[in-house]
A and B are shown apart, each in its own frame.
Chain A
């Protein structure tokens, strides 16, 4: 099906473990984003990518790593998870000139770090 999908939807891990959240979109959108949602903070940008092999930091990048070897995939890795990274993570994509200004969001991944 066309769209943007995230996996896993739910993940429980332990402090210090590495975790990778996957994001896949089928529209060939050039821009992709990772946000985290926390109570009282709304959604905050972690990293974004303007195209394959081009990534940049957002507002809260510490403790996260991203890569984008293919246009359709944008995985987010927590190299050594901490409890403060317990959150809901959203991936989104966007294409300039199409549905001007609108980001398309995945369904979110709830991560719990014990």
Chain B
């Protein structure tokens, strides 16, 4: 079975600063995807960034980047130049590359950006 652990229930960061959200996972699969989803107060689930496990290069999307350490099964999200609109719940998620393609979610980190 796959498990995803987010050990930081809540975090805060000053506007324009950088923050890193942690995520670890456990799996016996060798091919899989990892994701960070953002859930603002509107409740909509928004894909922030995606990483394919076979790629060594860390994914980046504008101010968002990941630190993917496959051997350590770690997948942290770095948000640079934090903005008020980044205030949200962030979920780390895992998907096997084969089978049902279900997402396994962590319990989430609530991020607050302080003006």
Contacts and interface: CB of A to CB of B under 8 A. Distances in A.
Contacts of A108: 43-45
A11 to B, nearest CB: 14
Q: At the interface, is chain B mostly helix, strand, loop or mixed?
A: loop
A42 B102 contact: no
B78 interface: no
Given A96-B101, A101-B33, A42 B108 contact: yes
A33 B102 contact: yes
A44 interface: yes
A110 B95 CA distance: 25
A105 B44 contact: yes
B101 A41 contact: no
A44 B35 CA distance: 16
B11 interface: no
Secondary structure dominating the interface of A:
strand
Contacts of B91: 42-43
A92 B95 CA distance: 14
B107 A42 contact: yes
Given A40-B107, A41-B107, A43-B91, A102 B100 contact: no
Interface of A: 31, 33, 35, 40-45, 48, 50, 56, 58, 88, 90, 92, 94, 96, 100-103, 105, 107-108, 110
Interface of B: 4, 6, 33, 35, 42-45, 47, 50, 52, 91, 95, 97, 100-103, 105-108
